[in-house]
Homo-oligomer: A and B are copies of this chain.
Amino acid sequence: MADAGKEITIYDIAQKLNLSAATVSRGLKDHPGINKNTKKKILATAEKMGYRFNSFASNLRKKNSNIIGVIVPRLNSNFMSDVIAGIEKVVNKAGYTLFISQSFESMQHEITNAKAMFNNRVDGILVSLAYDTTNISHFEQFTRRNIPVVFFDRVIEHEKYPAICIDNYKAANTLVSHLIEQGCNRIVHISGDQRRNVYADRTRGYQQALKDNQLPFEDELLIVNDLSQAAAIQAAKKILKMRPLPDAVFAASDFCAINCMLEIKKAGLKIPGDIAFAGFNNDQMACVVEPQLTTIDYKGFEMGEFAARMIINHLVNPGELQNTHSLVLRSELIIRESSLKAGVK
Contact = CB atoms under 8 A, between A and B. Distances in A.
Interface in A119-148: 119-121, 141, 144-146
A116 to B, nearest CB: 6
A326 interface: no
Interface string A149-181: 000000000000000000000000000000000
How many chain copies does the complex carry?
2
Interface string A52-78: 111111011001010000000011111
A98 interface: yes
How many residues of A sit at the interface, in one of the four size bands? Answer: 35 or more
Interface stretch (A35-43, A99-107, A235-243, A333-341): A99-107
Interface stretch (A13-21, A213-221, A281-289): A281-289
Chain B CB count within 10 A is highest, among A52, A141, A258, A288, for A288
A120 B285 contact: no
Contacts of A255: 284
Contacts of A98: 99-101
Contact of A85 (B57, B65, B88, B102): B102
A49 to B, nearest CB: 14
A55 B288 contact: no
A7 B64 CA distance: 12
A262 interface: yes
16 contacts: A2-B141, A2-B144, A3-B144, A4-B145, A55-B119, A55-B120, A56-B56, A57-B60, A74-B81, A75-B80, A97-B99, A99-B99, A258-B288, A284-B285, A285-B288, A288-B288
Q: Which 7 A-B pairs have the closest CB atoms?
A: A76-B81, A56-B60, A56-B59, A75-B81, A75-B75, A76-B78, A100-B100
